[in-house]
A and B are shown apart, each in its own frame.
Chain A
Amino acid sequence: MTRIDDKFAALRAEGKKAFVAYLMAGDPDAATSMEVMKGLPDAGVDIIELGVPFTDPMADGPTIQLAGQRALEGGMTLQKTLDMAAEFRKGDDTTPIVLMGYYNPIYNRGVARFLDDAKAAGVDGLIVVDLPPEEDDELCIPAQKAGLNFIRLATPTTDDKRLPKVLTNTSGFVYYVSITGITGSAEAEAADVGPEVARIKAQTDLPIIVGFGIKTPERSEAIAKVADGSVVGSAIVDLIGKGKPVAEVLDFVKGLADGAHRA
Chain B
Amino acid sequence: MADDLFNSFMNGPDEKGRFGDFGGRFVSETLMPLILELEAQYEHAKTDQSFWDEMEFLWKHYVGRPSPLYFAERLTEELGGAKIYLKRDELNHTGAHKINNVLGQIILARRMGKTRIIAETGAGQHGVATATVCAKFGLKCIVYMGAHDVERQAPNVFRMKLLGAEVVPVTSGRGTLKDAMNDALRDWVTNVRDTFYCIGTVAGPHPYPAMVRDFQAIIGKEAKEQMMEAEGRLPDTIIAAIGGGSNAMGLFYPFLDDKSVRIIGVEAGGKGVNEKMEHCASLTGGRPGVLHGNRTYLLQDEDGQILEGHSISAGLDYPGIGPEHSWLHDIGRAEYVSITDTEALEAFQLLCQTEGIIPALEPSHAMGHVMKIAGDLPKDHIICMNLCGRGDKDIFTVAKALGTDMAGLSD
Interface status of A195 (Cβ within 8 A of chain B): no
Interface status of B20 (Cβ within 8 A of chain A): no
**Which residues of chain B have C-beta atoms less than 8 A from A130's C-beta?**
26-28, 290, 293
CA distance A54 to B302 in the complex (A): 13
Query: With A62-B172, A130-B28 known to touch, is A104 a contact of B185 (CB < 8 Å)?
Result: no
Let me know if B192 and A180 touch, CB within 8 A. yes
B1-33 vs A, CB cutoff 8 Å, 1 = contact: the mask equals 000000000000000100000001111111111
Nearest chain A CB to B205 CB, angstrom units: 9
CB < 8 Å: which of B26, B34, B178 contacts A157? B34
CA distance A133 to B305 in the complex (A): 24
Interface status of B113 (Cβ within 8 A of chain A): no
Query: With A65-B172, A108-B300 known to touch, is A54 a contact of B186 (CB < 8 Å)?
Result: no
Query: With A103-B290, A107-B289, A182-B186 known to touch, is A157 a contact of B29 (CB < 8 Å)?
Result: yes
Let me know if A182 and B303 touch, CB within 8 A. no
Interface status of B217 (Cβ within 8 A of chain A): no
Within 8 A of B (CB), among A232-247: none
CB < 8 Å: which of B29, B32, B34, B292 contacts A58? B292
Nearest chain B CB to A184 CB, angstrom units: 11
Quick one: closest B residue to A137, CB to CB? B16
B23-56 vs A, CB cutoff 8 Å, 1 = contact: the mask equals 0111111111110000000000000000000000
Interface status of A162 (Cβ within 8 A of chain B): yes
Most buried by A among B185, B186, B293: B186
- Number of B residues with CB within 8 Å of any CB on chain A: 37
Query: With A78-B304, A104-B306, A108-B289 known to touch, is A154 a contact of B29 (CB < 8 Å)?
Result: yes
**Which residues of chain B have C-beta atoms less than 8 A from A158's C-beta?**
29, 32-33
Interface status of A9 (Cβ within 8 A of chain B): no
Interface status of A194 (Cβ within 8 A of chain B): no
**Which residues of chain A have C-beta atoms less than 8 A from B181's C-beta?**
58
Interface status of B64 (Cβ within 8 A of chain A): no
CA distance A79 to B298 in the complex (A): 21
Let me know if B290 and A152 touch, CB within 8 A. no
Within 8 A of A (CB), among B276-314: 289-293, 295, 298, 300, 302-306
CA distance A181 to B173 in the complex (A): 19
Let me know if B34 and A56 touch, CB within 8 A. no
| Inter-chain contact total with CB atoms closer than 8 Å | 117
**Which residues of chain B have C-beta atoms less than 8 A from A201's C-beta?**
none
Interface status of B260 (Cβ within 8 A of chain A): no
Let me know if A135 and B33 touch, CB within 8 A. no
**Which residues of chain A have C-beta atoms less than 8 A from B303's C-beta?**
77-79, 105, 108
**Which residues of chain A have C-beta atoms less than 8 A from B179's C-beta?**
56
**Which residues of chain A have C-beta atoms less than 8 A from B189's C-beta?**
59, 180-182
Query: With A54-B305, A180-B189, A182-B190 known to touch, is A104 a contact of B29 (CB < 8 Å)?
Result: no
CB < 8 Å: which of B16, B26, B304 contacts A109? B304
Let me know if A134 and B186 touch, CB within 8 A. no
Quick one: closest A residue to B303, CB to CB? A77
B191-206 vs A, CB cutoff 8 Å, 1 = contact: the mask equals 1100000000000000
CB < 8 Å: which of A56, A155, A181 contacts B291? A56
Let me know if A135 and B304 touch, CB within 8 A. no
CA distance A127 to B14 in the complex (A): 27
Nearest chain B CB to A18 CB, angstrom units: 21
Interface status of A106 (Cβ within 8 A of chain B): yes
Interface status of B182 (Cβ within 8 A of chain A): yes
Within 8 A of A (CB), among B199-252: none
Interface status of A168 (Cβ within 8 A of chain B): no
Query: With A58-B28, A153-B29, A177-B30 known to touch, is A107 a contact of B293 (CB < 8 Å)?
Result: no
CB < 8 Å: which of B25, B31, B173 contacts A56? B173
Nearest chain B CB to A2 CB, angstrom units: 22
Within 8 A of B (CB), among A146-170: 152-159, 162, 166
Query: With A182-B190, A185-B190 known to touch, is A155 a contact of B30 (CB < 8 Å)?
Result: yes
**Which residues of chain B have C-beta atoms less than 8 A from A177's C-beta?**
29-30
Let me know if B30 and A104 touch, CB within 8 A. no
**Which residues of chain A have C-beta atoms less than 8 A from B191's C-beta?**
180
**Which residues of chain B have C-beta atoms less than 8 A from A57's C-beta?**
182
Quick one: closest B residue to A107, CB to CB? B290
Query: What are 8 A-B contacts defined by CB distance under 8 Å?
Result: A106-B304, A132-B26, A132-B29, A135-B25, A153-B29, A153-B30, A181-B190, A182-B190
Q: A59-B185, A153-B29 are in contact. List 13 more A-B contacts (CB 8 A).
A: A54-B304, A59-B28, A104-B289, A104-B291, A104-B298, A104-B306, A105-B305, A130-B28, A132-B25, A157-B30, A157-B32, A157-B192, A180-B192
Q: Give me the 5 closest cross-chain CB pairs, A-B, nearest first.
A: A108-B304, A105-B304, A181-B190, A155-B30, A77-B303
